[in-house]
Structure 1
């Protein structure tokens, strides 16, 4: 009887989601319904993990990896299994996974550094494996997916420092290659950084940190930023209308975003809330391409950040895709292909400069 009741409750939740969320695309609708069913079954919200419960954190991390795999299966995403992968570390400290197209035999390769999202708490190269493979397939570049340290075990600026280490190491190799001295299996020519959600935040803030640390080679060799629905105002999400308007029922909730902000220290720090960084600091950033979801609590701050970049003199091409929800780039939801095409073409143009 209990099982029957659970099934009935799940069906009711799904039907309610269908009625309430008829404004989103069909794939996004399924994703919203899955989140509702997950909550009805008592499963943890992968975006709202209590910092004082290590077991819950571990479960949420496994759940996100599994959900990402399930999303690829449900929506029939191509496997792209021909893309080669190699596990390694950068500077003997930061784990990475490198993705290379089998047809790429060049001595020097363009590199896309992928920084996964997950609210600074969950996510991994596994959760963003398909995104990495798609970027390799679309651009021909090598993708280096960074397995940076996560909160709550490792609070700010640990993850950021890991990303800076990777960027500076790759930029140093690129400088050596420019001097005709290839010296490593990964021989970058030009670098673009790609991040979604919290990963988008780390993409921006790591470049700002590198600038403040006078790591000039990072500034020289990182040609652009690809940002998917980045969180850029970690201390004041509530200032934006979209935070209240889309904060419930559209997969990512306002409560989850607020929970994420509590997992890091000093959320108002300009190296965590880059939208508050002074214009001269923002001006040091490379060109950006931004993708936002229409029904996302973070959409307004993403649009505002693109405007701040332009005001600081940084080229910023931004798109808001209709009928989409948070996560539609890492999971093949509605308008995923169009967004990937935009990001890939932007990457190709940046790397060619």
Structure 2
């Protein structure tokens, strides 16, 4: 018995020592490989969040190496553990819309007439995220704006490549729009909304629905720090914020490739810009150019990039990056000018900032009304941290309030 007890103590000691080394390694990586700009409010809190994420990633890798589960599965499992329970102000129901899992949030407060309906597509780089990870955000939007919110649990990459996520979001939206009366939603007040990769999906769905005469017209689209293109990862915001949590430049390219092809081959070419032929880049430069970004967003540093050509082999692998359903910034003017009133939220310390700025200009140039809200001290993913274990940021609350206020004004 004493021998067993001694072995257990030794195993526990080894485990504790290993965990301490793991955390110390995560802390070292944090201070060695990330940048927290001076303008970020509560920088220590952001470092702690990043350390937690790095620790989770390392634990997942260890579990993968010893054959317990994949790193990806572990990360998703940890993300999906949060449960909020019953909300006294909302009816919450899990259903399927055209075989796509959805979660519906309906306010219990009596409403004088039909409500707004919000289709919400979660972020997570098309690889992570779920109905659970954005549960609190969806509840806040539903209660704050007194709208019916439908969160869509679309299929994730790399298991399900493009256009799976887009098709799920589109099909769920069409199903909802054909059954609005069942949820007490006004057909003239349907909105698509999403954050990060979800913003990409919301923009793509909105563009597709401009051609549907058999469905109600969308009232608005809400794009929260959206990723809208994968042709240029050297825009000013990508250079300035390349190592700012919670989304690094390399991660943005990695997720786009995972969504497109189910793997991240040719990531080096994508990052340096040698994955698209020069003549195509020049063709898209009227929409996708640093020249279209206001100079005040370049003062933190920007080095113009030399145009690089690509090989046929690489282009064949990534050519679908040029499809608007994948990269909505590249849609033709004939589509863009039909888009509904738009809300775009950007964060100063976010690699995707300039995607939002460029789309804002495209919309305005085509006569689309745009409400733009910029978080000067914000970073990618900040809205989803509201109420998260004490890790909220004031600018995240302001961003959420801006979304709710926009909805209430429709």
User: For residue 396 of structure 2, what is the aligned residue in structure 1?
Assistant: 336
User: For residue 269 of structure 2, what is the aligned residue in structure 1?
Assistant: none
How has the CA–CA distance of structure 1 residues 2 and 61 changed in structure 2, closer, same or farther, with 3 Å as cutoff? Answer: closer
- Structure 1 range deviating more: 280-289 or 153-162: 153-162
Where does structure 1 lack aligned partners over 5 or more consecutive residues? 46-53, 73-78, 175-181
| Residues 221-245 of structure 1: CA deviation (Å, up to 9, x unaligned) | 3200111100001x22414111121
Rounded Cα–Cα distance in structure 2 between residues aligned with 1:254 and 1:147: 26
User: For residue 243 of structure 2, what is the aligned residue in structure 1?
Assistant: 248
Q: What does 1:7-46 correspond to in 2, within 5 Å?
A: 7-10=23-26, 20-26=36-42, 29-39=44-54, 42-43=58-59
How has the CA–CA distance of structure 1 residues 348 and 216 changed in structure 2, closer, same or farther, with 3 Å as cutoff? Answer: farther
| Residues 29-56 of structure 1: CA deviation (Å, up to 9, x unaligned) | 42343223542561459xxxxxxxx933
TM-score under structure 1 length normalisation: 0.81
| Residues 286-332 of structure 1: CA deviation (Å, up to 9, x unaligned) | 11111111100111121111111111111111121021110111222
How has the CA–CA distance of structure 1 residues 281 and 55 changed in structure 2, closer, same or farther, with 3 Å as cutoff? Answer: same
Q: What does 1:188-199 correspond to in 2, within 5 Å?
A: 188-189=185-186, 190-199=189-198
Q: Please, which of 226, 238, 245 is the counterpart of residue 222 of structure 2? A: 226
Q: What does 1:152-163 correspond to in 2, within 5 Å?
A: 152-163=158-169
Rounded Cα–Cα distance in structure 1 between residues aligned with 2:321 and 2:232: 11
Aligned-pair CA distance for 1:80: 5.4
User: For residue 143 of structure 2, what is the aligned residue in structure 1?
Assistant: 137
Q: Is the 2:26–2:54 Cα contact (8 Å) retained in structure 1?
A: no
Q: What does 1:112-191 correspond to in 2, within 5 Å?
A: 112-174=118-180, 182=181, 184=182, 186-189=183-186, 190-191=189-190
How has the CA–CA distance of structure 1 residues 223 and 60 changed in structure 2, closer, same or farther, with 3 Å as cutoff? Answer: same
User: For residue 275 of structure 1, what is the aligned residue in structure 2?
Assistant: 329
Q: Is the 1:38–1:44 Cα contact (8 Å) retained in structure 2?
A: no
Q: Is the 1:17–1:36 Cα contact (8 Å) retained in structure 2?
A: no
User: For residue 348 of structure 1, what is the aligned residue in structure 2?
Assistant: 408
Rounded Cα–Cα distance in structure 1 between residues aligned with 2:218 and 2:44: 37
Rounded Cα–Cα distance in structure 2 between residues aligned with 1:119 and 1:194: 15
Rounded Cα–Cα distance in structure 2 between residues aligned with 1:7 and 1:89: 41
Q: Is the 1:65–1:126 Cα contact (8 Å) retained in structure 2?
A: yes
Aligned-pair CA distance for 1:171: 2.2
Structure number with higher relative contact order (C-alpha < 8 Å, ≥ 6 residues apart): 1
User: For residue 300 of structure 2, what is the aligned residue in structure 1?
Assistant: none
Question: RMSD over aligned Cα, in angstroms?
Answer: 2.8
| Residues 115-169 of structure 1: CA deviation (Å, up to 9, x unaligned) | 1011111111100001111011111111111111222222122221122122222
The reply to whether residue 258 of structure 1 matches residue 253 of structure 2 is yes
